[in-house]
Structure 1
Amino acid sequence: MKSHRRRLPWYAGFAVGTAAVVAGALVVVGVGGQASADSDGGNGWRSARLAVELKAAIIKQNFGNVLDTTPPGSAAAKRFAPSAAEKDGMEPSVAQVAQRLKAFAAASPAASPQIHQTPNVDAAVIELDHQGHAVSAANVLLSPQYPTGKVVPLDKNMATDQVRYRTWDDDTWDNNGGLGTTDAIPGRENAPIDFMSPYPASVFKLMVGFGIMQLVDKGQLNLDDDYAYDRTGAPNTACGLNVTKPIRQFFDEMITVSKNESACAMTKLLIQKNYLTTLNQEFVDLGLPMLQINGVRAVDGGHWGANVMSSLDTAKLLMIINGAGGKLWTAPNGTAVTKALLTDSSRAFYLKELGDQGLNQLLSTTNWCGRAYPAQGLPQKVADRWINPADGTMTVDGRVYGQDVRPCQATAQVTFAHKTGLDTTAGNDAGIVTSLPGKAGRHFIVVVNSNLGDRYIDTNRTADPPGIYPVQYTEKYGLLGKAIDQFVTRHHNG
């Protein structure tokens, strides 16, 4: 293997245990606490390189070149005002998505002007060795305040105290220059970076799933137990009806097809077990303060709009679920964070569920295999459970994608165990990328959060075939996913 130090002379002179300035932002060298044959051994040039390449890939996508289908104050904004469920923080239904995008496609280009400011994007990548330990980490932000991107300073535990995170608010973003007004973490008022964290939408279900599996490990739940979800007296939202199902089925529906009703049930179950407050505090204790489930209703587990998740802390949560021997990082209290937060059997079950994800339509776009639009994203092999063996098309919980995905399955390079968060003003994807046997080696976690939901469409968007689930998000997500996969693959095989 050729030395990266000879190929990348710009990082020459980095010293062990010191800090370096990369593209105008401080990056602290040294990642993780577990040495491996693939690790830096304490040198930070891997993370510095990753940060530079991630920032360049984000800028290249030109995320500001999208059309706003419901610009503030427009007739379209009034016509397609958020539904009661969306105001509750939930994803729109399949029918709502199809109706809106059909109307937008029929409108004149003048009805959808260009987005009025740089969107908010929060992207994190953690490169892993073959065991699952971090060998590099990077976090890059984009916003009206940082239109050319901002590299977040990370310490050796892949943490930062240099960002004043604000909670997301649509109206504030539209009318206050994209700058939030409510702090997500107390005591960060003087942090040098000020950023309104995009609404996580259904990626928050990763936190719910983590809490459920911990209760399973504690013997307080069994996945095969029936749970009688009762929301009597709750507001009329997308949490559905009273229903009894095995916990395993609720969990599967929550993760693989992002079913709102099942997520409400599992969130209420955490509340009934008096575990939600414990879970939030555990995230803080682990050094993941930007993982918080806030303001949910006890009566039905709904009302998710106050939840917060940064891409960095989400990526580290996925590191725990992915697992590796020994220490993953050191918590603020000095203790080692390890995979033991979940048992091996619970992690295996969780990873299987993430691998069965059916909504492959952001960083990966395999569901639309073969279409000229959207562009191909991560070269992912999708779960066979959604594929019609007769014609290769995918149908996922009422979403008919209409393309034969078998050619993409045959040329796939990776698996992508992931969770999406899809909303009018949220487009999020968080997952673990692993190379398939015999393919070029790579192993990494990628999380991209943004306010570019289905309110925003590409200037080159093409019409969807009749009866087919529409392309809901900008193809820039897929292009970014592909770019990240390509440069991480070069790191592993260069």
Structure 2
Amino acid sequence: MPAMSAAALAQAMREAVLAQDFGATPDSQDEGRPIRHFPSIDLAVVAFPEQGPPVAANVLFSREFPQGLIAELPADAGAARNIRYLADQRDGEGHSIAWRPDSDWSAMRWTPLAGEAGPGGGRVVAPYPASLLKLMLLVGVGRLVDQGRATWWQPLTYGGRERVVADWAYDMVTWSSNEATSALVTLMHAAGAIRRDQGREVRNELHTLFASLGLTTLRFANTTAEGGWGNGSGSGVGQIQMTAWDTVRLLWWLDPTAPAAPWLDAKAPRLSAESRNQAMHALQDQALHEVLSSGALGGVPGWIPGMPARLPDRWLQPDGSLHAGEVSKSGDLRRFASGGEVWFAHKTGNTENYTADAGIVHGIAPRRRHYLIALLSNLGARYAPHPACATTWRIPALGAAIDARLARWLEGRAQHEAPDGAPHG
């Protein structure tokens, strides 16, 4: 294996994606035939070697780039130089239309999101992040608290229930509660961080924060004071945006053990220790290991191992099944709560058309690897081989393959590689 460098990391990521044969993924919306268009996959990694500077790469795939496009990243890990991001879109009835089997991108009018396609680059449609968007809101609430405009322990009433802000945030992240998300959206509006006038958004301090951090593809637009953030409220697809590269850079800014983010100066905003701890606590207790990691799916027939992450045992019942809020997963999962090689503090997202996962990886002693990873894709639940699954098994298999490569690079030892080439359902 070549020495770890940005070019070697990018090539390894590209090869890992291609080895999964994503173009053969069955599509339930097309009578189980292979997906008509190569899926959109936006994958970014930042690795932190024990010696030397961070190493980062971002590879992107779509129907227009089925062999992959490698982002050109500056030395200071600033914005990608050769990618023109386009916003996802929906029709007048609020339906996501870019990913239908018969969708024709050449006939669609696309709204620019960020960036320019320089030499060797191209345009990329940024898939809706699904519930990964809750990471942005989590950070926004932390910023609100740090400014003295809210507290983690203040009561917040939504839907007839009163809970403290910290509890709403914990449920929003750990088992992806939509009710909790709506509650925290109402908080952002009530505090004046997001403001609408005559049906139009006129103030959004989340966007101001992300702009100050150089994360211009992170957008949380057109939510409502009543807590609306989906397609039906005028937000959702096309209004809420994330890309893998800006998401891993947001995690870099959030990660308390990462070196200083090199593209930011000393005046850049930072979260307080309290708000950072609240965010990390929720991410570390993630119950939904079902995308890049797959421990929560250990009871599903045909299970494929993903990133070897330890499942938080707080969600396990005496029989080994998982129950977190409104989420239940069957099977005896105790082996995933006692084993594993890494801690994965992360947030997932999943709908019929989209799947996403992003987080911070730390090796469990004696393993020492430390890296950030983000994946956004249009490979949602319609491509899942079983009703309990969030996406195709190819996604956790990809997580396992990338982790195995990084273990060899970052720990300097032989590591069992996940099978890269075998296609999965």
TM-score (norm 1): 0.74
Partner of 1:15: none
The separation in 1 between residues aligned to 2:160 and 2:357, in whole angstroms, is: 30
> Secondary structure of 2:186's partner?
helix
- 2:250 pairs with 1:311: no
CA distance, structure 1, for counterparts of residue 162 and residue 301 of structure 2: 43
2:155 aligned with 1:222: no
| Paired-residue identity, % | 28
| One-letter amino acid of the structure 1 residue matched with residue 289 of structure 2 | N
Which residue matches 1:452? 379
Mapped to 2, the partners of 1:212 and 1:265 lie a distance apart of 11
Structural mapping, 1:221-370, within 5 Å: 221-229=150-158, 241-276=159-194, 277-303=204-230, 304-305=236-237, 306-324=239-257, 327-331=260-264, 335-336=265-266, 341-369=270-298
CA distance in 2, matches of 1:59, 1:113: 19
List gaps (5 residues or longer) in structure 2: 90-95, 195-203, 231-235, 413-425
Give 1:181's aligned residue: 109
**Distance across 2 between alignment mates of 1:410 and 1:307:** 37
**Offset of 1:181 from its aligned partner?**
3.3
Alignment match of 1:196 (pick from 104, 125, 139): 125
Residue of 421, 429, 432 corresponding to 2:360 = 432
Equivalent pairs counted in the alignment come to 387
Match of 1:46 in 2: 5
Match of 2:73 among 129, 150, 154: 154
Moved more, 316-325 or 117-126: 316-325
- 1 CA distance for matches of 2:107 and 2:356? 20
Q: Is the 8 A contact 1:173 1:179 kept in 2?
A: no
For residues 43 and 21 of structure 2, what CA distance do their matches in structure 1 show?
14
Amino acid at match of 1:150: L
Q: 1:209 and 1:148 mapped to 2: Cα distance?
A: 35
1:128 aligns with 2:57: no
Give the partner amino acid of 1:225.
Answer: Q
Kindly provide the amino acid, as one letter, of the partner of residue 262 in structure 1. A
> Letter of the aligned partner of 2:381 in structure 1?
D
Contact 2:82 2:115 in 1 (8 A): no
Structure 1 unmatched runs, 5+: 1-6, 10-44, 72-110, 230-240, 465-469
CA distance in 2, matches of 1:419, 1:188: 29
Residue 325 of structure 1: how far off its partner (Å): 7.3
2:43–2:60: 8 Å Cα contact kept in structure 1?
A: yes
Deviation (angstroms), 1:393: 1.8
Among 2, 10, 25, the alignment partner of 1:8 is 2
Deviates more, 1:403-412 or 1:259-268: 403-412
1:373 corresponds to? 302
Decide which of 97, 118, 132 is 1:171's aligned counterpart: 97
Query: Which residue of structure 1 lines up, in the alignment, with residue 233 of structure 2?
Result: none
In structure 2, what residue type is equivalent to 1:353? A
| Residue aligning to 2:422 | none
Q: Of the candidates 22, 25, 29, which is equivalent to residue 70 of structure 1?
A: 29
CA distance in 2, matches of 1:484, 1:179: 36
Helix, strand or coil for the counterpart of 2:348?
A: strand
- The whole-number CA distance in structure 2 between the counterparts of 1:450 and 1:336 is 34
* Structure 1 stretch displaced more, 295-304 or 412-421: 295-304
Offset from partner CA, 1:292-338 (integer Å, 9 cap, x none): 1012123323232210100110111111111257731224xxx3476
The residue number in structure 2 matching 1:475 is 393
Local SS of the residue matching 2:343: strand
Q: Deviation string for 1:258-301 (max 9, x for gaps)?
A: 11111011112112222241220221221110111012123323
The Cα offsets for residues 112-152 of structure 1, whole Å up to 9 and x where unpaired, read as: 22211101000000102459x96100000010110111111
CA offsets 1:393-415 (integer angstroms, 9 cap, x no match)? 21222333222122233331111
C-alpha change, 1:407 and 1:154, in structure 2 (3 Å) is: same
Structure 1 residue 344: deviation in Å? 1.9
CA change 1:359–1:184 in 2 (3 A) is: farther
Q: After superposition, what is the alpha-carbon deviation per residue over 1:86-126, rounded to whole angstroms, capped at 9, x for unaligned?
A: xxxxxxxxxxxxxxxxxxxxxxxxx3222111010000001
Equivalent position of 1:37 in the other structure:
none
Question: Tell me, what secondary structure is at the counterpart of 1:171?
Answer: coil
1:172 Cα deviation after fit: 3.0
- Could you tell me how far apart the structure 1 residues matched to 2:335 and 2:226 are? 47
Q: Distance in 1 between matches of 2:391 and 2:260?
A: 37
SS at match of 1:300: coil
Aligned-residue RMSD, C-alpha: 2.3
For the residue of structure 2 that corresponds to 1:341, the secondary structure is coil
Aligned residue in 1 for 2:313 = 384
Tell whether 2:373 aligns with 1:414. no
Q: How far apart, in 1, do the equivalents of 2:126 and 2:288 lie?
A: 23
Contact 2:99/2:378, CA 8 A, preserved across alignment? no
Instruction: Name the CA distance, whole Å, in 2 between partners of 1:326 and 1:69.
Output: 44
SS of residue matched to 1:455:
helix
CA distance in 2, matches of 1:363, 1:151: 20
